Structure 1
């Protein structure tokens, strides 16, 4: 099957943990590779303002650090074209946007570029990621249907197909982010678009049963059009290994207690909770805090990391306050995001991962850490309880009170036997997350050309 995958606002080749790149980039990169491994031909489309690699250039690679070579024969007017593997091509649409918000305002132009692109026109199936991609694909199809309305038969050759099924992975839902964070930060444009997408897409791919419920309750999606396909983990990479060896490679001392945070630094991810919890730990247990190092591995959302080591400009009140809090807490160190082959060493070297998100559709870093033998203290929100079983493979915190997070950190750092037990169970629990099963669940649920589901609604959610 010929599959088009849309990740327009951020390239799957971008480094997760900075700018607009995060777990979704890993999801797209790994699911595309799983599709190719299953025998499909995949064209990935991005309009990342940073370029195909998310860094302002045309050369890059996958989220796993692999390389991609530019196609010297690519049409310059169609943007850069990178051949990731024999079966995967990454295309960059040169829409000219410099930010995600500008990209959202250029959806009609993106739809036109997609309809003009020969590799998009021949797709048998379109899988979109995030609302901008979904809206562009649906608008492209509206144009296609209008053009083909007078046709008496199927469109063949180099012409546009009448219709390819469109699947949507939201990754985050604006209404849910507002609900969970008790804010109204999301743009009305996004909120309106997501309701249209939920009504018009052929298939909604939820990461967890919790996200499936949110799609149904918040966006009024037809339950028969939603399937659960849990994200996976690269188990060939994220495996337990020697903590001592990993610490030596990263420059950590053997007797340090390492508390790790991985991801973009933003309010919705609860970075402030992580910093405040470590400050609280210093107040209540100075001796433990004196040998504890909190590593924040990432950069500010929407801002690329600088070359000096992870500093970010105070571009908002939240970031200014977070910068000040980090400066005032001697145990906290900010490091720039790293490729996955180095990230796994951080997971192996640390004692505990903290994931204090205020809203989280899944929480991929918690799954990667678990597979590497690192238990997590995580918020009991969204998909995180799918990964962290409280008291068995980690700890869940029901609120964002730094006192409660400091208590959990102190408990685990003072109980090495409990930490080891949680780590073993975390590895076992992570085995359920497999990218092959992710793409199989989505493909099995594909609607046919008429929009009828290929699975019974009772089976939806199985994976």
Structure 2
């Protein structure tokens, strides 16, 4: 099986925690790598952001990343990416035609469209979904879509000062829901939200939870924890609360700072320290020093350590150095950070939103907080900071909970969905581009099926 994976707005090769790179990058890279290890050939198409990387990057046997030129390499904000949908799609088609056109008559309609080169398309995020929808009909293959976030859901839980997602995005997502052959969701709650907000059909949805690399994210020994703290410049005897992720209002790092400042004032004997690991993203790009300024305003700058984003092989030491990982997000479709933390034996205090109630076993591997009032967060964090026995028991349980999720299980479920779709598509005679193009022509201009 050959799969064209579309990840237009961010590359799986980018460092998570910088700019628009985050959990989706971790997801796409791990799914693609594990698909390849299961014998599925995967090409990930993404927008080129640097000339030095080259058009084709061989990541692993059976896995390539294709950098497609669409707009300037640098300086193009995420909000402007919709203007490059046509250019990006044209770049994808050009690459595939060059490869597929070498077989048979290069002037044939199939070679010109690139039909027959892939068995299936899997798009990620709404921009890629729009591209995947067009390629689906040009190539005559089924489209699988994973959204990662949904505009209608995000707008129901905005952080204070955050900008709502535009109606244009919600309309594009509705078109994807109406036209994709399968929507992969992380949780049943996400499936229910799609049925409510986008009138999705349950038969078009498949719940496939993400996984975690339990071989990389493992609990550290006391000696490993001490070494990690020395390397990161954290006092050995401190109580450490860490935040890992992109620095923007949606992820809630400011909630942690306010809650921690309260704890630091009330419990100076606990020697509480805060670690924030990540880079500005989204609205955080407008004020990259906002969290530093907030720490100074709260009078806790000396207790907060800001770390730059780091690759997984280095990130594990941050998890191991922490006593608690805070995930105060306003919206989180699943919560890979929470899962990685637990795999590393670190209990989690997370917001009760999105997929986090599934990711965190409340009272066993962590705590869940209703809402985003810093006072409530201070109370939840305090219960673990002050109770060593409770925190240590959660630390013992957390890895076994995380072990229930693995990328191999995720990918095996995904391959089953792929095969079912490909078999059904071929059984109904929809594998020829002319059939698909006829279908495209029969739709109304809104993009909905007749």
**Is the shorter-chain TM-score for this pair beyond 0.5, marking a shared fold?**
yes
Matched, 1:89 2:67: no
Matched, 1:296 2:271: no
SS in 1 for 2:18: coil
1:156-211 CA distance string (max 9 Å, x none): xxxxx4x1111111000011000122776102221110010001001100011111
Moved more, 195-204 or 100-109: 100-109
1:222-262 CA distance string (max 9 Å, x none): 11010011101111101112222332333322201111000
CA contact under 8 A between 2:122 and 2:132: conserved in structure 1? Answer: no
CA distance in 2, matches of 1:57, 1:247: 38
Matched, 1:219 2:188: no
Matched, 1:173 2:150: yes
Q: Please name the residue that 1:20 is paired with.
A: 20
CA distance in 2, matches of 1:195, 1:30: 27
CA distance in 2, matches of 1:295, 1:111: 41
Q: Please name the residue that 1:3 is paired with.
A: 3
Instruction: Let me know the Cα RMSD of the aligned residues.
Output: 2.1
CA distance in 1, matches of 2:240, 2:426: 51
Residue 127 of structure 1, aligned match among 119, 122, 126: 122
For 1:218-367, what aligned pairs fall within 5 Å after superposition? 218-242=197-221, 243-288=225-270, 291-302=271-282, 315-316=286-287, 322-328=291-297, 329-330=300-301, 331-367=303-339
Matched, 1:428 2:400: yes
CA distance in 1, matches of 2:51, 2:258: 37
Using the TM superposition, give the Cα deviation of residue 369 of structure 1 relative to its aligned residue in structure 2, in angstroms: 0.7
Using the TM superposition, give the Cα deviation of residue 449 of structure 1 relative to its aligned residue in structure 2, in angstroms: 5.9
Alpha-carbon distance change, 298 to 431 in structure 1, aligned in 2, over 3 angstroms: same
Using the TM superposition, give the Cα deviation of residue 334 of structure 1 relative to its aligned residue in structure 2, in angstroms: 1.5
Residue 138 of structure 1, aligned match among 125, 133, 154: 133
CA distance in 2, matches of 1:453, 1:371: 42
CA distance in 2, matches of 1:99, 1:443: 34
Alpha-carbon distance change, 453 to 258 in structure 1, aligned in 2, over 3 angstroms: farther
Q: Please name the residue that 1:107 is paired with.
A: 85
CA distance in 2, matches of 1:326, 1:184: 23
SS in 1 for 2:345: coil
Q: Please name the residue that 1:156 is paired with.
A: none
CA distance in 2, matches of 1:245, 1:418: 24
SS in 2 for 1:17: coil
SS in 1 for 2:405: coil
CA contact under 8 A between 2:158 and 2:164: conserved in structure 1? Answer: no
CA distance in 2, matches of 1:452, 1:230: 27
Q: Please name the residue that 2:422 is paired with.
A: 448
Q: Please name the residue that 2:367 is paired with.
A: 395
CA contact under 8 A between 1:380 and 1:398: conserved in structure 2? Answer: yes
Using the TM superposition, give the Cα deviation of residue 450 of structure 1 relative to its aligned residue in structure 2, in angstroms: 5.1
Moved more, 80-89 or 6-15: 80-89
Q: Please name the residue that 1:203 is paired with.
A: 182
Number of residue pairs matched by the alignment: 398
Matched, 1:193 2:172: yes
Q: Please name the residue that 1:384 is paired with.
A: 356
CA distance in 2, matches of 1:28, 1:274: 28
- The answer for unaligned runs of 5 or more in structure 2 is 100-113, 429-450
Using the TM superposition, give the Cα deviation of residue 365 of structure 1 relative to its aligned residue in structure 2, in angstroms: 0.5
CA distance in 1, matches of 2:362, 2:318: 23
Moved more, 361-370 or 419-428: 419-428
Question: 4+ residue stretches of structure 1 with deviation over 4 A?
Answer: 449-454
CA distance in 2, matches of 1:452, 1:385: 39
CA distance in 2, matches of 1:187, 1:227: 27
Moved more, 373-382 or 83-92: 83-92
- The answer for unaligned runs of 5 or more in structure 1 is 60-69, 71-79, 145-160, 304-311, 455-463
SS in 2 for 1:381: coil
Using the TM superposition, give the Cα deviation of residue 327 of structure 1 relative to its aligned residue in structure 2, in angstroms: 2.5
CA contact under 8 A between 1:165 and 1:449: conserved in structure 2? Answer: no
CA contact under 8 A between 2:324 and 2:348: conserved in structure 1? Answer: yes
Using the TM superposition, give the Cα deviation of residue 57 of structure 1 relative to its aligned residue in structure 2, in angstroms: 5.4
- Structure with bigger helix share is 2
Superposition TM-score, scaled by structure 2 size: 0.84
CA distance in 2, matches of 1:339, 1:320: 22
Q: Please name the residue that 2:432 is paired with.
A: none
